[in-house]
Amino acid sequence: MTALLSVTALDAFYGDFQALFGINLELGEGEAVAVIGANGAGKSTLLKSLAGLVRNRPDAVRLAGRQIGDGPAASIVRLGLALVPEGRQLFPSLTVEENLLIGAFGGERTSPWNLASVYQMFPVLQERRRSSVTVLSGGQQQMVAIGRALMSNPSVLLCDEISLGLAPIIVEDIYRMLPRIRDNGTGIVVVEQDIARALRSTDRFYCLQEGRVTLTGRAADASHDAIHAAYFGT
Amino acid sequence: MIGLDSVIEGVLLGGVYALFALGLSLIFGIMRLVNLAHGDLILLAAYLALSVTTTLNIPLAVATLLIVAVMFVAGYALQRLVLERVLGDDILPPLLVTFGLSIVIQNGLLLAYGADSRRLQAGAFESSSVTLADGLNVGLAPLAALLTAIAAVALLQLIFYRTALGRAFRATADNPQIAQLMGINERSVYAIAVGMSVAVSVIAAITFGIRANFDPSIGPARLLYAFEAVIIGGLGSLWGTLAGGIVLGLAQTIGARVNPEWQILTGHLAFLVVLMVRPRGLFPSRRP
């Protein structure tokens, strides 16, 4: 079986600075994996490389067998890989509904995710559909960011720090939606600071330290000591 | 005494200035690009209209549609082939490139058409008038210019706020990198914006060319009026640009009524007064 997403020996650079070294990662249909690691370990760079915001060798990233490592971001989302960026990054000039609609800009698929199904998952967004996104609460903004990414009906969804700056109860609400997204066969990569939170919602994990994968395994079997060692490198 | 007729005349003149300014406002709003060749592109369109109507002998209305299409393509190509290479964090290179383009167009027009002033022929249309009230006649051509300006703003507003293309424009203006994550090709969005900007300028060129003489050297002055209209109205607001054009037209007409030598001066004074009282213009966009 070919993996939905496979990353092979990915090296990522910002100019002369190498941020990632030989990363290997696989994601299956409907699977969720966590990428954990300290600040500056390269988690966000990894997601940016997958989404095409950082360019790489064509064969470093394959989506359903197709090489996308060097693709521009605008084409990659059309091929079925969507990113929920860190810090939400909504468009302040657009209303809630327009932010959702722009997520479907490049897509031809309109199911399972469309305005109706996103509103069904996050009813509060329907009530506020004509509001500017700047007046929403942090949790509501995160819902818009996730809904916006889902509107392209991705086969792979990347979530960068979706719990950042949110109250724990709101974080739980948002994580509760992940199984529903996976039910449609969408694979999810979660980057998260909160290790316990990430491991509870995923099948497998990858631990990054200084741009390298230092530990990988099943989330349920993860031992505290092994993660501690892989995380801090001690 | 400044009568109702000079107010109406000023508002109508403002329609032309608003048309000059719309294209400038459009690309500034989307790309933060100040196009110093905007006035010369308007003149280029006016000369194209002159050539097409006189040599091919087709009616002005048909010629307008043709030139709108041609200039849209020219604007698109201008962005993809030239401006795209210099757009970046530094605002100076695009300014210099459009400044250079302005000189190239001026001299190109001078070579091709000479320095004589010309005028577009619109037949009976240019001299006919409509009666609004007893003893109050309004020229059909200036009235058409104002109505065209209103229609152009309404159409652009519709595109901006009711279509997927408009959402892509606004999203790209907010954050070009995140817009790419939505599948928006930033380069083609910018090229379409420049194409639209130049296409709108064609309408400005035709309405202007019917009511006034033009020669290859007057582009920069049109650019100045356009700039003033955009700033008076508030950056990033299309209705504001229309209002800015009207304020400028009113100031010039009223100034000319007091003393004919003051026409240009009072326009610039009105601009300065607005800058002092409302530095962000009359209707600044709400964007944070």
Residue of B163, B170, B181, B185 for testing the chain A interface, max A β-carbons within 10 Å: B181
Q: Does A77 touch chain B (CB under 8 A)?
A: yes
Give the tens place of pLDDT for each residue, A107-121: 778 889 999 999 999
CA distance B170 to chain A (A): 7
Q: Say how far apart CA B165 and CA B171 lie, in whole Å.
A: 10
Report chain A's mean pLDDT, rounded to a whole number: 92
pLDDT digits 0-9 by tens, B155-166 = 999 999 999 999
Residues B183 and A74: beta-carbon distance below 8 Å? yes
Which residues are paired to A17 by β-bridges?
A: A14
Q: Would you kindly state where each structural domain of chain B is located, as residue ranges? A: 4-118+140-277
Where does residue B175 rank: exposed (0-12), middle (13-18), buried (19+ CB within 10 A)? middle
Q: What is the mean pLDDT of residues B188-196?
A: 96
CA angle B155/B197/B142 to nearest 5° reads: 65
A108 touches chain B (CB under 8 A): no
Cα angle B153, B252, B113 (rounded to 5 degrees) comes to 75
- This model of the complex carries an ipTM of 0.91
- With bands split at pLDDT 50, 70 and 90, how would you rate the model's confidence at A230? confident
Q: Residues of chain B with pLDDT > 90: what percent?
A: 74
SS3 category, A21: strand
Q: Band of the pLDDT at B136, cuts 50, 70, 90?
A: confident
pLDDT above 80: residue A209: yes
What distance in Å separates residue B192's CA from the closest CA in chain A? Answer: 16
Residues of A in contact with B184 (CB under 8 A): 74, 102, 105-106
Length of chain B: 288
What does the buried/exposed string (b/e) look like for B115-133 if buried means 16 or more CB atoms within 10 Å of the residue's CB?
A: eeebebebeeebeeeeeee
Q: Which of A76-85, A95-104, A212-221, B178-187 has the lowest mean pLDDT?
A: A212-221
Q: For residue B102, is pLDDT > 70?
A: yes
C-alpha distance from residue A171 to each of A162, A164, A201 (Å) = 8, 9, 12
**Residues of chain B neighbouring A98 (CB-CB closer than 8 A):** 167, 170
* Residue in chain A nearest B184 by alpha carbon: A74
Q: How close does chain B come to A93, measured CA to CA in Å? A: 6
Rounded CA gap, A146 and A132, in Å?
17
Instruction: Tell me the Ramachandran region of residue B62: left when phi exceeds 0, alpha when psi lies from -120 to 50, beta otherwise.
Output: alpha
Residue A211: partners with Cβ closer than 8 Å, 6 or more residues away: A12, A18, A19, A20, A21, A23, A41, A42, A45
Closest by Cβ to B173, choosing from A74, A77, A93: A93
- Which residues in A lie closer than 8 A to residue B32 (C-beta atoms)? none
Contact B182 A94 (CB under 8 A): no
Alpha-carbon Rg for chain A, nearest whole angstrom, is 17
Question: Above 80 in pLDDT, residue B127?
Answer: no
pLDDT of residue B1: 52
**pLDDT surpassing 70 at residue B2:** no
Average pLDDT over residues B112-121: 91
- Judged against a pLDDT cut of 50, whether residue B88 lies above it is answered with yes
Q: Closest partner residue to B181 among A77, A94, A107, by Cβ?
A: A77
Confidence check: pLDDT of A224 > 90? no
Q: Choose, out of A93, A98, A135, the residue to mutate when testing the contact with B (most B CBs < 10 Å).
A: A93
What pLDDT, on the 0 to 100 scale, is given for residue A228? 82
User: Which of the four pLDDT bands, split at 50, 70 and 90, describes residue B288?
Assistant: very low
User: How many other CB atoms sit within 10 Å of the CB of residue A95?
Assistant: 18
Residue B145, pLDDT > 60, answer yes
CATH of B4-118+140-277, one of 1.25.40, 1.10.4160, 2.60.40, 1.10.3470: 1.10.3470
User: Rounded CA gap, B288 and B286, in Å?
Assistant: 6
Whether the predicted pLDDT of B142 surpasses 90: no
Share of chain A above pLDDT 90, in %: 80
Enumerate residues 6+ apart whose C-beta is below 8 A from A163. Answer: A171, A174, A175, A192, A193, A194, A197
Q: Do A78 and B175 touch (CB under 8 A)?
A: no
Q: What is the pLDDT of chain B when averaged over all its residues?
A: 91
| Entry pTM | 0.91
Restricting to A residues 134-173, those with a Cβ less than 8 Å away from any Cβ of B are: 134, 148, 152
- CB of A105 within 8 Å of a chain B CB? The answer is yes
Distance (Å) from the alpha carbon of A22 to chain B's nearest alpha carbon:
25
Q: Give the pLDDT confidence score for residue B140 in this predicted structure.
A: 85
